[in-house]
Amino acid sequence: MPTKELRPGIYAVGSLDRDRKLFDELIPLPDGTTYNAYLIKGSEKTALIDTVDPAKAEELFSNLKKAGITQLDYVISNHAEQDHSGSIPHVLKAFPEAMVVTNLKCKDFLKSLLMIPEEKFITRGDHEILSLGDRTLEFLIAPWVHWPETMLTYLKEDGILFSCDLFGAHLATSDLFADDDARVYESAKRYYAEIMMPFRSNIVSHLRKLQSYDIKMIAPSHGPVHAKSPFIVDAYADWVSDNVKNEVVLPFVSMHGSTRAMVDHFIDALMKRSITVKPFNMPRTDIGELAIALVDAATIILAAPTVLVGPHPTVAYAAFLANALRPKTRFASVIGSFGWGTQVIERLGGLMTNLKVEMIEPVVIKGYPTVDDLKKLDLLADAVLAKHKAAGIGI
């Protein structure tokens, strides 16, 4: 990523990673990602905010060179995860005078993950500052976005919030700023769903804390910079709110067509009742798309045939993911078919104990669905509608 100027003396010096297709060997990256690092020149001191994934360290150094950096005073570490911290040892080697500035918990992580010695650290607590001369950094401790040591850095004079992973997006775009782009919204929502959603209540309190700051620009550690900050702040406020939509998320799989016949009928039944339904055929699903759907949906219904008494593993995976991501979903149920015996309801229920959902009577049937079985699915659709209406959800 070529060096780009956010403001006079403030540069984006991170890297683009268009080719990365998977993060943590788990999360699909359909649009690649960026590892954002920012250079701030003050009248007396120069600071680098975060670094890049070590695989991209050369790009960081090339950008620092283009920015004319021959000396560096501080490396601010907002987050110890290696896609941002992993090049700190390289930076310290190239700029031996530089000190790492972070909070106590992050220091502990950086020492154990990257073997950075104790004497290289300066620590700061919540609301404490670091002067660069005519520019001042204030550190805001913001745990659990998405590790316990995360913090945000606010550049007071310019009103720029360097927000670490918060407000980020896995989107390798050459545009430095991309506020009103629908693609940015979708990527940011995907990022929220996959990374931030389990920490919704923490984010609520962080958003409240940020209200007292005059934020003119948000510079996250992934994706484009938000120069019109309300766009992303408003989106987050919506996602973390308790509001849900009149939607059913329906992860499913079918082996021989019985569960598929139930799913097809049930989708029609929900649509007839004006309920939006988002089906995901699990063996072919991008789990990021499933996570996005879980951000707002009122209800999740798992559709699984029985395999060795339990649910088909791909739907068990959907239940496991939903349980880990902790969406604000209010209702849940199970549908599916079995051959000779099943514990699919109990086992799927046991995989979703983190979800604060009310279970609606499942429809799990033997063999191919009969006319009576399909009527049970109509009754389940009626029950979903009634629950949504009673909760005042988008009807």
Residues that bind ligand FEO (CB under 6 A): 79, 81, 83-84, 146, 165, 221-222
Q: Which is nearer to ligand FEO, 221 or 329 (CB)?
A: 221
Bridge pairing between strands 245-252 and 217-220: unpaired
Q: Which is nearer to ligand FEO, 59 or 165 (CB)?
A: 165
- For residue 241, the minimal CB distance to ligand FEO (Å) is 23
Amino acid at 372: D
Instruction: List Cβ neighbours of 234 (8 Å cut-off, separation of 6 or more).
Output: none
- For residue 256, the minimal CB distance to ligand FEO (Å) is 42
Q: Cα(382)–Cα(343) distance, rounded to whole angstroms?
A: 25
- For residue 190, the minimal CB distance to ligand FEO (Å) is 14
- For residue 165, the minimal CB distance to ligand FEO (Å) is 4
Q: Which is nearer to ligand FEO, 41 or 146 (CB)?
A: 146
Q: Cα(72)–Cα(42) distance, rounded to whole angstroms?
A: 11
Q: Which is nearer to ligand FEO, 165 or 247 (CB)?
A: 165
- For residue 100, the minimal CB distance to ligand FEO (Å) is 17
Q: Which is nearer to ligand FEO, 146 or 278 (CB)?
A: 146
Q: Which is nearer to ligand FEO, 60 or 381 (CB)?
A: 60
Instruction: List Cβ neighbours of 385 (8 Å cut-off, separation of 6 or more).
Output: 273, 275, 395
Beta bridge partners of residue 39, listed in sequence order: 11, 48
Beta bridge partners of residue 48, listed in sequence order: 39, 75
Q: Which is nearer to ligand FEO, 35 or 231 (CB)?
A: 35
| Alpha carbons within 13 A on the beta-carbon side of 59 | 20
- For residue 12, the minimal CB distance to ligand FEO (Å) is 16
> Backbone phi, then psi, for 271, in 5-degree steps?
-65, -40
For the beta carbon of residue 123, count every other beta carbon within 10 angstroms: 15
Secondary structure class of 200 (helix, strand, coil): helix
Q: Cα(103)–Cα(109) distance, rounded to whole angstroms?
A: 10
Q: Cα(148)–Cα(358) distance, rounded to whole angstroms?
A: 30
- For residue 162, the minimal CB distance to ligand FEO (Å) is 13
